[in-house]
Each structure stands twice: as structure tokens, then as C-alpha cells.
Structure 1
Amino acid sequence: MNRSTIFKTLTCFAFAAFSQAQDIEPKEVLEVMEEVADWQIENYEGLYSGHSKPHHPLDWTNGALYVGMVKWAAMAEDDKYYEWLKGIGEKHDWQLHRRKYHADDHTVGQLYVELYRKYNDPDMIEPTKEQFNYIMYHPAQTSLQWKTPYHQSRWNWCDALFMSPPVWAKLYNITGEKKYLDFMMDEFKATTDFLFDKMENLYYRDESYMGKLDNGTKIFWSRGNGWVFAGLVNVMNELDPNSKEYKYFLKIYKKMAAKLLKIQTPAGHWAMSLLGQDYYPTPETSGTSFYIYGLAWGINQGILDKATYAPAVKKGWNALVGHVTDDGMLGYVQPIGAAPGKAWPNKTEVYGTGAFLSAGSEVYKLYGGK
């Protein structure tokens, strides 16, 4: 082992020990969530990870932001965050994004349902219901194989399981119409049967990564599995815990949670290639935020053993907070991609903020917040 490797190893363990020692106070969770939310709103159209123009307000990137931001809005002391979110929906007539079948363009529907729950305005969800009804009665017949014709008309990449299924589950919950649940279950099961590795209890990003190795390890993208893990939670939140559908998702969730506990890095984050932390030492906060969100939720629900999982949540949350700048920017968010890559302390993305706010909403509860 050379000097550089020894230094990196010692630094990693020192940071891990420091993180473990830091107590988490509910008030401090609220404070950092507010800082991150406010910074993101002020820099909503900022270009922080190399793209040439701001994301469209209905794009999946912002849709993922809204999923976390609406959780923060429910915790904040005034309605200014709700008003900001409502203004986005009003400006775009409560429409989903441009592609009818593509899961990414459904993501903003999660926000619309949550705003409907607050304001009880049917106009907020009518376009989503109409579009999803069309999809149900004209279901895509495309293959789940990657790069086949019109392949992304179905959920053949793991990110999709965060983007679209929770919208279907929310519509089922608020309307009581089981057709939404049945459609979602059929498609979710098809995707899981195709992309879930039963040996590793993780999801391939898509078919193109199956059978490939990165430094001798299978390629399981951290944020990709984070999308899935958070998506499972967002779906289960809409279902009866005694239902067979809930139990289906719970089984996957528990398998993933156990795996994630084993592969968390000593520093508290998860490596961008989940099984290759020796080769991807750089922190990455979007995937890690989704894992902290999901694990803290499981403890709060009494699903995961607190003594077993709480240390991982504590270590992970402290690591995340350590990558928030003094002015509230969440750093080390991997730019848009589909595979393990790089992240930098001065680069961020709106979906990273959304993931962080989701994580904070459950960490706050876990440590006694009301």
C-alpha cells in the first residue's frame, strides 16, 4: 500500500468517526433544509453542472426537485413555498411535460397531486388524469429491451420507477379507482422482473449494463438505485399496508435496504458504482440523499430495526450536511447521466436538492421533530 492510499484510508476513517460523533438536532435539520430550499429557489434557473440552458420547469429534473420541495413546504412556517410551487402549476395549466408516455415527463404529476391535496382544486389534477386514462386505454406495446423502437414508452430504465409509478399510486389513492393501481402494478412488475438482480438485490440502470463489469464489479449506478428506493417509498406511502400490493413493494424495499446497509462507505455516502467504492471514492449526494430518505422512512414506519439502521442514517445525514455550502448549495451532486461518473463540490443539480429535502423530511421525524 503506497503513502497516498494510506493517507486516503486514514482520512476516510477519521471523517467517518467524526460523522458518527455528531448529534442530530431537529432544529438544525430544519435550518439546513430551509437554507438549501431557499438557495435553490433563488438559483432555480442556475447553470451549475454544465448544461447550456435552464431546465424546463416541467422537466424531470425539476419534477424531482418539487417532490422534495413540497415535503419541505408542508414543514415550513408559512405558505411561501407552496405558493412558489403553485405558481409553476398555474403557469403551465397543470399539464405534464411534452412526451405522453415517457415516465420522466410524468414526474411533475406528483407535485400536482400534493397541491390538490392542500387546495382541493380538481383543475390541478384533471390533465394528469386525462393523460393517464389515455395511456391505460392505449398501452404501449414496446419492448423493455434497450434501444428498441419507442422503448422508453415503457419503464425500461430504473429511473422511471421514481418518476411515474408514484403518480399512478397517488391517483389511485385520491380517486379510489383501482384501474390506476392495476396498471402501475403490471408495469412495475415487468420492469422489476427485467432489471432487478436477485443476487445483488439492486437494479441495473437499463439492459445495456447487464453483463458489463467496471473494475471487475457489476455496474449498479448509485443515483439510479436511489431513484428506485425513493420511488418505492413514495408508492408505499399511498397504499394500505395490509394490501398485497404494498407487501410486494415492501419485499423489494427490505432487500434493497439490507444491501444498502452493507455497502455504505465509511465516510457515510454510497459510491457512484455501488459495488465499486474502491474505484469511486468521491462523495455523491443525490443518490446518498435518496438512500437516507428511504432508510429513515423505514425506521419511522417501524419497518427497519432502529438499532441496526439508525447509525447508517446518522452517518449519511452528517455527511450530506457537510457538503452544503455556507450559502445553502448542496455540492457533490453528480450531473445528469446514466452511470457512475464524477461529482464536484461546486456542482449541483435541482434533483439533488429535491432528494436532500426528502431525506431531511424523514431525518427530522426520526430525531424527534414534530
Structure 2
Amino acid sequence: MNRRALLAAGSALGLAAVPGVALAAPSSQLPTRAQVLAVMQRVNDYWIAANANPGNNQWARATYFCGNMAHYRASGTRKYLDYAVAWAEQSAYGLNGGNTTRIADNHCAGQTYLDLYELLGGANKIAAIEDSLRRMVNSTARDDWWWVDALHMAMPPFARLGALRNDTSFWLTMYQLYHSTKRLQPDQQGRVTGLAAESTALWYRDSAYTIDGSAQASPSGKPVLWSRGNGWAIAAHAKVLKVVPLSNKRGPEYANTLRSMAATLAPLQRSDGFWNVNLADPDHFGGPETSGTAFFAFGIAYGIGAGLLDRATYLPVLARAWNGMVATAVRADGFLGYCQDVGAAPAAVDPGRTADFGVGAFLMAGAEVAALTS
């Protein structure tokens, strides 16, 4: 599908691309690998210098460490690994809420614990995340993931433990929880709708935003399709597909969902390379936003590298996203701005706003971009 076809597809969905606001159009060519790694280093070094204490094991900081570990794997720079070890040891490789937690946000830390286990060994590193997810496997409840963020937080550790232990019960439970989020979550009237907006291939953040006659809408009455919420979704699919093969019964569904999301997102990209905070309404806090854009770049870059997305079609989309973030959101000293705060819906964004999860998403995207360059 070429750029013109993508634009036509977006128009058919009733969603429209929007020009950037007084920002130069970025290049459609990817920089070199060395240039990508240099920007990643600048951003990550700034974050680490500003956060000598690596922080808690909750979802926001855990998402940063997903990016930090991706940076380590891409660069081989030991200090990034050491920083992750210090963070994990500070929490004794434990989970917020303890091993009995079923809250997906609390499982995000397990992604880095699994990284460290794979690199350094030590059964203690994954004891808590494995125990917690095993408890969920052995239970009957499958409706825990009622918000879209949960997909990114918890699907990857389920997928990875299934592969590590050669135990498909982790994959089955993961799919059942995913299926509930996608198709079975009730709307505000109690009707079963799920969070996937099938007509657009995008996702609502939770049932408060699904279209049921009483759901929240933008000031102009359009749907609320939150950028970062959809970023969580596409990133989750990419991370799962790194582990679950297409030959698996559910592999094609994960792959087709990523493809459909990418096809919908491409024509919605702003001319400055970013995506708006509300993908359905560019006037709803319109302007560049880094966290959603970085997650989209991560998912699209993975899709290109894995052969799931046509390189000629999507590489310019990816290049504009990466180059736009570097030109607009990355300060000379490495501060990453334009990150929307913690929330569940679009909100105001400005160049002075940063966030640990935004830095993590940027580093994750950078690692995938670097893998496509030379």
C-alpha cells in the first residue's frame, strides 16, 4: 500500500491527517545507525544524570527501563546495564503489590527482570514475576485487563515466560486476557463491546471512552482515540511478536492487528512527523506529542524489520516520526520534551514536559530504528 492509498484509507475511516503547527517537515530518510545511537545516548545520559536514584518498580519507571535495556542491547554500553541492575536490586526483583498482584501495571517490571535474567542468569531475578503470572494461569479469572495500557505492561512477560519455560499455558492465558480486553469489556451501559474500535483498527483507552451514547467525547463531539493508549497497544503486539511465532494459532491475529493499526496510523501522521494526542480529533489539544509518537515508531520499525510491513511504504512514515522527534522534542542537552503527563485521555502538552515512560518509548523506538540502519 503506497502513501496515496494510505491517505485514502484514512479518509475512508473518517479520520484526517493534519499539518504540523509551525514546525518544519522532517526528512523521509532514516539517519545512520551511528546518528541514531548518538541521539539515544544523549537522551539516556541526560535522564540518568537527572535521576541518580533509579526509582521505584512501578509501571512508569519500568517502562523507562524497557527502553534503557533496548538501548543497552543496541549499543553494548555497560553503564546502561549497570543502571538497570541497580534499579532491579533496589526493589529486590520484586513487584509492586507483591506476588499476588493481578494488576497488569505491576507486571511491567518483569520485562526488565527477564532481560537481566537472560543476560546475567540468576533464578532470583524472575522468581517474583513467574510466581505472579503462574498464579494468574492457575486461576479462572480472565477479565483483569480492562484498560488498554495493560496490554503493554503484562503481555510481554506472559509471552516470554511461555517461551522460556516451553509452557504454552502462559500464552493461552495471555490470549484469553487479551481477547477479553479486545472484545469482551463492557461499555458504560453494560453492553459487551471490547476496547478495539474495529471500524478504525484503533483502541479506546477503557470503557469510559467507547462510543455508546454516554461515553466521553472530544469538545467537538468526536471519539477519543488516545494516542498513547494506542501506542501501548501497538507496542504490546510488537513485543509479543518478538516471541510468539506466526505459526502459533494466535500469531496471525497479533500480526494482522499490528498491520491494521499501522495502516490506520500512517495517514494520520502530522507533517512534522508526530501524531496528535487524539487520533480522531486534531483540534483536541492538537500539537506534537512524543510518547504516543515514539510507541508508534517502535511498532512500525519492528513491523518493517520483521517483514510484517512493506518497507517502501512505511520507512518514510518511520523516518518522519524519528526525525521529527529528534528535531523537535530532543533538546541539545538530551532533555526529551513534549511528553504528555500520566493520564487516560488527551491533555495539554508542551516542550517542557518529559516523563520516564516517554524516554523509555523513545529509546525502544531508537533501538528498532538502529536495527534498520547501517
Q: Is residue 2:97 matched to residue 1:107? A: no
What corresponds to 1:149 in structure 2?
none
Cα distance in 1 for partners of 2:342, 2:92 equals 27
Determine what percentage of the aligned residue pairs are the same residue: 31
Q: Is residue 2:82 matched to residue 1:78? A: no
TM normalised by structure 1 equals 0.87
SS at match of 1:234: helix
Distance 1:156 1:118, change over 3 A: same
- CA RMSD for the aligned pairs? 1.9
SS at match of 1:267: coil
Cα distance in 1 for partners of 2:49, 2:302 equals 29
TM normalised by structure 2 equals 0.86
Is 2:54–2:86's contact at 8 Å kept on the other side of the alignment? Answer: no
From 33, 44, 51, the equivalent of 1:37 is: 44
Q: How far is 1:12 from its partner? A: 4.0
Cα distance in 2 for partners of 1:234, 1:41 equals 25
From 234, 240, 245, the equivalent of 1:240 is: 245
Residue pairs, 1:32-71, within 5 angstroms: 32-44=39-51, 57-71=56-70
Residue pairs, 1:330-369, within 5 angstroms: 330-368=336-374
Cα distance in 1 for partners of 2:63, 2:293 equals 15
What corresponds to 2:217 in structure 1?
213
Cα distance in 2 for partners of 1:30, 1:354 equals 14
Distance 1:82 1:103, change over 3 A: same
Q: Is residue 2:186 matched to residue 1:180? A: no
Residues 12-52 of structure 1: CA distance to partner in whole angstroms, max 9, x if unpaired? 48612xx126651211100000011111112227xxxxxxx
What corresponds to 1:199 in structure 2?
199
Residues 315-353 of structure 1: CA distance to partner in whole angstroms, max 9, x if unpaired? 111111021111111100000000011111111000000
Cα distance in 2 for partners of 1:10, 1:222 equals 16
Q: How far is 1:139 from its partner? A: 4.1
Cα distance in 1 for partners of 2:326, 2:37 equals 12
- Residue identity opposite 2:304 in structure 1: I
Cα distance in 2 for partners of 1:86, 1:131 equals 21
What corresponds to 2:190 in structure 1?
none
SS at match of 1:213: coil
What corresponds to 1:167 in structure 2?
157
- Residue identity opposite 2:103 in structure 1: H
Structure 2 residue runs of 5 or longer lacking an equivalent are 1-17, 184-193
What corresponds to 1:326 in structure 2?
332
Q: Is residue 2:284 matched to residue 1:275? A: no
What corresponds to 1:15 in structure 2?
24
- Residue identity opposite 2:24 in structure 1: F
Structure 1 residue runs of 5 or longer lacking an equivalent are 1-8, 46-53, 145-153
